[in-house]
Chain A
Amino acid sequence: MMGTKDIEEVVIRAVADSGLIPPDSVFVAGDCPAGKVTEERAVVTVKEVSRGPIFNRGFAEVNLCVPDREGRADHGRLQELETSAVTLFGDDAVGEHGGTVYRYGLHSHSLHADADLGCRYVNIRLLFETLNVR
């Protein structure tokens, strides 16, 4: 059975391999450098996994953060990242981890601002499903 840390591992690897953000700038929520965002980064959060009769399901959020320039959003870069991420995650990915088959795909995407961190970010919400039957 895949737990939240396993799902985190899969999603982090997918984001690191995607080329969207440098691999050493991909972080787990709560484990990011402190202070304002000065370089692009990706932050991965895996939420509660719900057990189902055939699939266990959970959402994984990937926030692609772009630092503001002089307090203003870098609209061009945000658009580029959002388009690339939607293309990348648009089709379901299927794989296996520790003997468990999984699939994930894009559930929704949106743009947000974080004034405290001085950045805007593209939120990519993935629906992650792991097969619960043999």
Chain B
Amino acid sequence: MRIDTELEAFFKKGEEEVKAAMEEAGRAAVEHNVEHGDYRDRTGNLRRSNTYEVSRDTLRVGNTAPYASDVEARGRMVASGGALLAQKMLEEKCR
């Protein structure tokens, strides 16, 4: 096997591992935000709007409801707790 082919396969495997780790952290973050969001539900829309997105080397954790930022700014936990959890999980994986 040529060395460049082996290297390419090695890096591809690494990228897949990173993506899998971010997916796992993203799912855990959303679960955390759904379970621990400390606001009062009226329609359930805010809690259902928790989301995550994995791109090449970035994990975004957030909430798509247009008023999510308002609720978070008033001192409630909407998405910030999950974001910290995801960061912690990925740091632990990197140790």
A54 to B72, CA, bound (A): 26
* B70 touching A112, Cβ below 8 Å: yes
A48 to B88, CA, bound (A): 14
**Which 9 pairs from chain A and chain B are nearest by CB?**
A45-B75, A123-B73, A50-B84, A52-B88, A59-B80, A29-B75, A112-B73, A57-B84, A112-B70
> Which residue of B has the minimal Cβ distance to A122?
B73
**Which residues from 61 to 77 on chain A have a C-beta closer than 8 Å to any C-beta of chain B?**
61, 63
Known: A51-B88, A53-B92, A110-B69. A61 touches B75 (CB 8 A): yes
Residue ranges of A at the interface with B (Cβ–Cβ < 8 Å): 29, 45, 47-48, 50-54, 57-59, 61, 63, 110, 112, 114, 121, 123, 125
List chain B residues, Cβ under 8 A from A63: 73-74
List chain A residues, Cβ under 8 A from B92: 52-53
Residue ranges of B at the interface with A (Cβ–Cβ < 8 Å): 36, 69-70, 72-75, 77, 80-81, 84-85, 87-88, 91-92, 95
* B84 touching A58, Cβ below 8 Å: yes
* B91 touching A48, Cβ below 8 Å: no
List chain A residues, Cβ under 8 A from B84: 50, 57-59
10 contacts between A and B (CB under 8 A): A47-B75, A47-B81, A48-B36, A50-B84, A50-B85, A52-B87, A52-B92, A63-B74, A112-B73, A125-B73
Known: A61-B73, A61-B75, A123-B73. A53 touches B95 (CB 8 A): yes
* A54 touching B73, Cβ below 8 Å: no
4 new A-B contacts at CB < 8 Å, known A48-B81, A59-B84, A112-B70: A45-B75, A50-B81, A53-B88, A114-B74
A61 to B75, CA, bound (A): 7
Q: Which of A45, A54, A110 contacts B91 (CB 8 A)?
A: A54
For the complex formed, measure the closest distance between the CB of A97 and the CB atoms of chain B, giving whole angstroms: 20
> Which residue of A has the minimal Cβ distance to B36?
A48
